[in-house]
Amino acid sequence: MEKFYITTAIDYVNGAPHIGHAYEKILTDVIYRHFTQRCKNTYFLTGTDEHGIKIQKTSTEKEMSPKEFCDMNAQKFKEAWKALDIEYSQFIRTTDEQHEKAVQKIFKKLMDNGDIYKHSYKGLYCSGCESFLSEKDLTEDGLCPNHMKKPEIVEEENYFFKLTKYKDAIIKHIKTHPDFIIPSFRANEVLNQLENIEDISVSRARSNVSWGIPVLGDDSQVIYVWIDALSNYITALGYDSENCDNKFKQFWPANVQVIGKDILKFHSIYWIAELMALNLPLPEHILAHGWITIDQTKMSKSLGNVISPTSVLEAFNLDIPDPLRYYMASAAPCGKDGNYSDEDFKEKVNAHLANSMGNLLNRTLSMLVKYFDGDIKPEFLGKNTLKEQSLETIKAVKHHFDYMEVQEAALKINELVDLTNKYVTDNAPWTLAKEGQMEKCGEVLTNVLQVMTVIASLIYPYCPNIASSMAEQLTYDLNTKLDDITCESLKAGHLIDKENIKPVFLRVDSELADKKKN
């Protein structure tokens, strides 16, 4: 692959980040880190959506200016992603001057091309969605299905985008590119939504919404979310910017755009129509992930079950975010809903990261020191019966990531860990040492450690800190590209001393972990 560009949805800063936001960012970061192991040029964009009526109202209630309010909450998102080791390349804010200027140019270009026109409109507006809804979008009780509130009737003269002009082209693209929308079963939802699509409002009257980007040449209007927020994916790269560098030419179109299933319509229809109108290439894939429930219940402020990602780290006194990253990234099959619970979190990370993977490395290195003073002798090399399974696992993991199947890839890594644990049990190196079969014992231990270098590379996107600790103890270069892994990286010579053997992850409820925290 020559390049890899991945984006997340930009988060609305009307509140603090919660675990649903974290799920998307972790999922995206894991995908991004995996593809950094496969190609040289990679770029990961995330950020915040900062205009609109909700920001305007909330900031007024808090006696702050909209910009001050946005600055405060945008910083909370940045701090949360730092705590979770989200390794983004750029954090865009829609209040960035470059973005605002580029959006104005995009709006004018669409207007000059005849894709935007002014029109008086009376419709049902949901302030929660920041979207106009039709009668068919509402529940039987006339409520917005997402916010369960009755939309208000709004009558304005706004600018409209000719979405209907691109209806047939969008349908054709979806049907001729079956992997455009991931998972593929979501494509039918989008095709059904396209059946009755209408032109969309892309501005609001400044008299009603003052916190927005002004329309060039018409100070009575501000640019609405569909042109403002959605354009961030290209403005971040310098599209239509006076200070444009080569990022746009280098990275657009996006390889993957990661979003929640609730905003798929806007990305697979509105955004695609805008790109078509601008005569720009379309993204390769749109990944619509599911939601994260809390103890099998949908998150809700009224239920009081909205939790922040950093609160999980604090509750379990975790000094690295790897356990939460691993748990969230493997929480659900591709595109399906997942669930978080404290008990399941503790059980899964203890079983997978401490008991299976971490303990496998720790006891193998300990036996190497006990029986061979930490040395790998030449006669131990070249007979790795696990090599084929290890290389096949790399292929399988790459295949799953090609289809954004992050949980499924994690399961493949676990299978290799389990297979290697079984290999240790079946060959019992402690028994071989007791019987004096030292060459065979050393061969078994070396085979396991060779596999552990592969596991370190594969688990790195999920658990970068744990992988780094594994690689350090194995003197393995974690920058090795997946295509260059041979499962023969360890060479004859001294590998490790007893004092350098450390658990890569302590069980959440272990006494050692508690002492480490205190």
- Residue tagged active-site, from 70, 129, 334, 487: 129
Tell me the C-alpha distance between 517 and 317, whole Å: 7
| 147 flagged as catalytic | yes
Report H helices in 92-218: 97-112, 167-176, 186-195
CA proximity to 470, closest of 458, 481, 486, 487? 458
Locate 106 and state its tokens. Answer: 């995009």
Q: Is 19 helix (H, G, I), strand (E, B) or coil?
A: helix
Q: Count of CB atoms within 10 A of residue 93's CB? A: 21
Q: Is 360 helix (H, G, I), strand (E, B) or coil?
A: helix
Answer yes or no: 298 catalytic. Answer: yes
Active site (annotated) includes residue 119? no
39 catalytically annotated: no
At 74, list the tokens: 């945008």
Residue 443: HSE in the Cβ half-sphere, 13 Å Cα cutoff: 14
What is the C-alpha to C-alpha distance for residues 422 and 447, in angstroms, rounded to an integer? 13
CA-closest candidate to residue 286, choices 252, 257, 261: 257
Cα three-residue angle 226-24-399, rounded to 5 degrees: 110
Catalytic site residue 285? no
Catalytic residue among 70, 144, 334, 441: 144
Nearest to 18 by CA among 303, 218, 216, 330: 303
Handedness of CA 287, 288, 293, 296 (dihedral sign): negative
- Answer for the pair 243, 98: CB distance below 8 angstroms, yes or no: yes
Which tokens is 41 given? 């040029």
The residue type found at 5 is Y
Catalytic-residue membership of 18: yes
Please report the beta strands in 290-414, taking only residues with DSSP state E, as ranges in sequence order. 292-294, 338-340, 375-376
Active site residue 301: yes
Residue type, 263: I
Considering 298, 383, 399, 422, which one is annotated as catalytic?
298
Q: Measured between alpha carbons, how far is residue 139 from residues 122, 145, 300 in Å?
A: 20, 6, 19
In the numeric block, the tokens 């079946």 are attached to: 426
Whether residue 352 lies in the annotated active site = no
* Distance separating alpha carbons of residues 119 and 104, to the nearest angstrom: 19
Cβ neighbour number for residue 285 with a 10 Å cutoff:
18
- Report the C-alpha gap between 211 and 50 in whole angstroms: 9
Residue 297 DSSP code:
B
Question: Look-up: residue for tokens 């354009």?
Answer: 231
CA angle 39, 40, 41 (to 5 degrees): 105
DSSP line for 42-90: EEEEEEEE--SHHHHHHHHHTT--HHHHHHHHHHHHHHHHHHTT---SE
Q: Catalytic amino acids? A: 18, 21, 126, 129, 144, 147, 298, 301
